[in-house]
Amino acid sequence: MTEHDAHPTSGQEQPPTPAPPAPGQPPRAPQQDPSASGARPDPHNAGHDDAEQQARQEDGAQVSTDVTPPGIPDAAIPELVIISGMSGAGRSTAAKCLEDLGWFVVDNLPPALIPTMVELGARSQGNVARIAVVVDVRGRRFFDNLRESLADLESKSVTRRIVFLESSDDALVRRFESVRRPHPLQGDGRIVDGIAAERELLRELRGDADLVIDTSSLNVHELRAKMDAQFAGEEEPELRATVMSFGFKYGLPVDADLVVDMRFLPNPHWVPELRPFTGLNEEVSAYVLNQPGAKEFLDRYAELLQLVAAGYRREGKRYVTIAVGCTGGKHRSVAMSEKLAARLAAEGVETVVVHRDMGRE
């Protein structure tokens, strides 16, 4: 039954009442007039001509003029950035920079799936508000679906930006030779042949780009700074710190950026009433912090970390691991790690505390 049949105008023959279902079969859902149920008609149905809309208005039905495609609520459409460009020009670095800024990043996504990814982000109830997609020639059929996907996004009023990473042929050749990897399009030819083929393939997309970054003379930190300037807004890039207590007798943490040694303080292990407890205990913590030099160390090291953190941000470093050690990783390092983490958190640094060796004795 067509939609025109379901909503007869005056003078048309009423459709016959459907026969009752056979015994044991579920009843059929009754055909309802949208004017009675309040349902909105599908704006994409071919049966919506002017005559039908006028007939429905005469019957008191609400005629929708909303042309927003179904499935993507307007208020929930996420911000979209498409990262592309020459192989070796820094696409991965640009993607990692956006990821550190809180974007949901998908690498090497087939262009045909970009609208689907946007729709999933819109249905996440704000949990995925910014999406970055890396598309490149590794998919070989690069432009087969990209144009169609971009047109689909435009029809759905999705705001998208294209970031194109560019670099000179000489710089790209040096980078490929330094890592001893072939260009994805060179085949049996030379690196320069692959670069030329890719440049021609991407020529049209480069012309559509909202932002072109030439990385020929940029290092990783300078590229990060350019991405921060475009996408970090007025907020300073966030620094995340992990403060890890450890015991020197179990070895240094391999991922530590900074290491400090608490063995200049007396060991609570030799105080019988404190030995069973850890640095999380208030009495143990007070014992450690009341030792000569303990509070001075905490104050000065926290001040030093402010200086280091500012430098890390300038260099594009987003994560730092501070290792605080003592003999067994149970008393002094645990107590000082907790106090140091509290200082960092008070300065606005997102901080996680890990006690690597507590409980190993």
Q: Which of 42, 82, 88 is nearest to 65 (CA)?
A: 42
pLDDT given at position 32 = 47
DSSP for residue 161: E
pLDDT given at position 357 = 93
pLDDT given at position 105 = 93
pLDDT given at position 328 = 95
DSSP for residue 297: H
pLDDT in tens, the chain (361 residues): 444 444 444 444 445 555 555 554 555 544 444 444 444 444 444 444 444 444 444 444 443 333 344 445 555 788 899 999 999 999 999 999 999 888 999 988 888 888 888 888 888 877 888 999 998 876 556 656 788 888 888 888 788 889 999 999 999 999 988 888 888 888 888 989 989 988 988 888 888 888 889 898 888 888 888 888 788 765 555 788 999 999 999 999 988 999 999 999 999 999 999 999 999 999 999 999 999 999 999 999 999 998 998 888 777 677 889 999 999 999 999 999 999 999 999 988 889 999 999 988 7
Question: Using CA atoms, how far apart are residues 299 and 43, in angstroms rounded to an integer?
Answer: 66
pLDDT given at position 19 = 54
Q: Strand ranges (DSSP E) for 108-159?
A: 130-134
pLDDT given at position 237 = 57
Question: Residue 73 CA to chain centroid, in angstroms?
Answer: 20
Q: What is the maximum span of the chain, computed from C-alpha positions, in angstroms?
A: 101
pLDDT given at position 137 = 75
Sign of CA dihedral 298, 304, 310, 312: negative
Q: Which of 287, 333, 84 is nearest to 203 (CA)?
A: 84
